């Protein structure tokens, strides 16, 4: 379980052709990756913000909120992936494949978005742009059937 999750995390660091395989990742891999992101962002926020609140409660509530909003971001990203695959291949990826891919391709951009928000809030748009790049660049490597292969071969019909 940890091996597949670490492979999932490793392959999601850079948008490449190999990232397309992450759409077939098992449930535990992308949910554990989401949990790891939530814990890292929550601890980063706790260190930067240094809240004057009962720390276990703050970490729990903040972690829950981060996970909730991250899953919303992933849901919108998965819909974006479905739209992009429909436009590129004329066939939409099922949501069960778009979701793990969206989780994989939004881990690094969301972490960079949070860091940019703490360092320079006016540059958070760079994190949003980075998430679009991470989502779209690997989708360019999807094989597209040529139009001539869809037509029946007249020579074989004779």
Q: For residue 64, what pLDDT is reported?
A: 96
Q: For residue 112, what pLDDT is reported?
A: 93
Q: Write the pLDDT tens digit of every residue in 70-103.
A: 999 999 999 999 999 999 888 888 889 999 999 9
Question: How many whole angstroms separate alpha carbon 45 and alpha carbon 36?
Answer: 14
Q: What average pLDDT does this structure show over 52-65?
A: 93
In the block, residue with structure tokens 């066939």: 91
Q: For residue 150, what pLDDT is reported?
A: 54
Reported as a pLDDT band with limits 50, 70 and 90, residue 22 is confident
Residue 67 pLDDT greater than 80, yes or no: yes
In the block, residue with structure tokens 């939004």: 106
Q: For residue 144, what pLDDT is reported?
A: 77
pTM for this predicted structure: 0.83
From the number of C-beta atoms within 10 Å of its C-beta (0-12, 13-18, 19+), residue 109 rates as buried
- Nearest CA to 135 among 89, 96, 99? 99
Question: How many whole angstroms separate alpha carbon 131 and alpha carbon 127?
Answer: 6
């Amino acid at each position: 379980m940890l091996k597949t999750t670490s492979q999932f995390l490793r392959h999601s660091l850079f948008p490449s052709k190999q990232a397309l395989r992450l759409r077939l990742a098992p449930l535990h891999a992308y949910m554990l990756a989401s949990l790891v992101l939530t814990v890292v962002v929550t601890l980063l926020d706790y260190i930067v913000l240094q809240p004057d609140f009962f720390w276990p409660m703050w970490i729990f509530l903040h972690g829950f909120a981060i996970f909730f909003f991250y899953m919303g971001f992933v849901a919108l990203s998965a819909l974006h992936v479905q739209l992009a695959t429909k436009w590129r291949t004329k066939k939409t990826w099922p949501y069960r494949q778009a979701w793990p891919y969206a989780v994989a391709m939004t881990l690094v951009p969301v972490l960079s978005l949070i860091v940019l928000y703490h360092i320079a809030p006016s540059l958070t748009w760079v994190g949003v742009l980075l998430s679009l790049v991470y989502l779209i660049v690997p989708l360019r490597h999807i094989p597209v059937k040529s139009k001539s292969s869809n037509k029946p071969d007249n020579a074989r019909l004779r």
